[in-house]
Amino acid sequence: MTAPNPKISVIIPAKGEWPHLEACMRSILNSSYLNFDIIVVNDGLSNKAIISLEIYINKIRILTSGGRGPSYARNLAVKNTDAEFIAFTDSDCIVDKDWLISLLDGFKKNPNSVSCGGKQELPKDAGDFEKKVFLFMKKSGFLIDYMRMTKNSETIEVNHNASCNVMYKKTAFLKEDGFLESLWPGEDVELDYRLSKKEYKMVFNPKAIVYHYRPKDLKSFSKMMYRYGWAQGFLVKKYGIFRKIQFLPIFSTILSLSLLILIFLQNMLFALYILLSVILITLCYFRLNLNILSLSFLAFIFWNSGFMGYLSGFRKRQFRAYRER
């Protein structure tokens, strides 16, 4: 039986400069829920970032993970808390003041669930490029569970919640061995897949909101897409295809082969017709927004590169992108 106001540990792995870290701390400390603590896991913070945390030293705990990655960092924090519930967010997120209350409400309404996730929005001070990335990811929601957008305000059952906005029951998290420490990103997808295979219940409450900053330029966006594709390659290699997004390489392969065959047969007109049809359909889906269309094609290229890169044997790239952040 869950206590009326159970203790929650908010866990944040952090690396590098992370200019939004202090704002993240302030938003959590402003929470309308009172029975919680904050654990920041130093996974390679800069001296400047560490100094920015010193003013909160009496309000937070800082653990050190030795730069072993966010999956290890989160697991380390869970093993070092006595809280009944564990809430994860990222250091580039600002949480709503009722965030913890809303996540916990998901468990109260669904007592048999082991996790509850929430909605991602864009901070008001986000830049123009971040707004484009947010819109692209929002429109891509039919393929992924990462950024679920719903007009319904009710809690629903889901198969996955992103680790930037999720709460787990600690007992279930530890029982199922937490995040796979050899994987990042995609460790949240992998954990939730294991949970769903064992018929654990997971829910999503759109009232639990975090404001998540996005890549600020094409270079960081491309790296993110490559990492996402790499992670999906890992997951397909390990479990087979179990998500809609994982059919993307099959589609791209069929499309590419079709175009090559038509070109070989010197049917350039039909090849051009197919290519223009794909572009037109994509453009219409993104409501004639050329900026979002360009992002979609860039994402298509780098995501597939990451996916095929893993399947081609480039496994040593696993944490390279994380170390370079």
Which one has a higher pLDDT value, 174 or 300? Answer: 174
Maximum average pLDDT range among 137-146, 261-270, 313-322: 137-146
Domain ranges of the chain: 8-216, 219-323
pLDDT of 56 reads: 86
Which one has a higher pLDDT value, 125 or 325? Answer: 125
Q: Is the pLDDT of residue 264 over 70?
A: no
Q: Is the pLDDT of residue 149 over 90?
A: no
Q: Is the pLDDT of residue 281 over 70?
A: no
Q: What is the C-alpha separation between 247 and 241, in angstroms, rounded? A: 7
Strand partners, 158: 202
Instruction: Check the CA dihedral 143-149-150-151 and report its sign.
Output: negative
pLDDT of 152 reads: 72
Q: What is the CB neighbour count within 10 angstroms for residue 157? A: 10
Strand partners, 88: 11, 166
Lowest mean pLDDT among 56-65, 219-228, 241-250: 241-250
186-222 per-position pLDDT tens digit: 999 999 999 999 999 999 999 999 999 999 998 999 9
Length of the chain: 325
Tokens standing for residue 104: 């916990």
Which one has a higher pLDDT value, 30 or 151? Answer: 30
Q: What is the C-alpha separation between 249 and 267, in angstroms, rounded? A: 24
pLDDT class for 119, splitting at 50, 70, 90? Answer: very high
36-74 per-position pLDDT tens digit: 999 999 998 888 888 888 888 888 999 999 889 999 999
pLDDT of 302 reads: 83
pLDDT class for 306, splitting at 50, 70, 90? Answer: confident
Q: Is the pLDDT of residue 259 over 60?
A: no
Q: Is the pLDDT of residue 238 over 50?
A: yes
Q: Is the pLDDT of residue 33 over 90?
A: yes
Maximum average pLDDT range among 99-108, 149-158, 235-244, 273-282: 99-108
Secondary structure (H, E, C), the chain? CCCCCCCEEEEEEEEECCCCHHHHHHHHHCCCCCCEEEEEEEEEECHHHHHHHHHHCCCEEEEECCCCCHHHHHHHHHCCCCCCEEEEECCCEEECCCHHHHHHHHHHHCCCEEEEEEEEECCCCCCHHHHHHHHHHHHHHHCCCCCCCCCCCCCEEECCCCCCEEEEEHHHHHHCCCCCCCCCCCHHHHHHHHHHHCCCEEEEEEEEEEEECCCCCHHHHHHHHHHHHHHHHHHHHHHCCCCHHHHHHHHHHHHHHHHHHHHHCCCHHHHHHHHHHHHHHHHHHCCCCHHHHHHHHHHHHHHHHHHHHHHCCCHHHCCHHHHCC
Q: Could you tell me the fold of the domain covering 8-216?
A: Spore Coat Polysaccharide Biosynthesis Protein SpsA; Chain A (3.90.550)
Tokens standing for residue 77: 């924090």
pLDDT of 321 reads: 45
pLDDT of 237 reads: 87
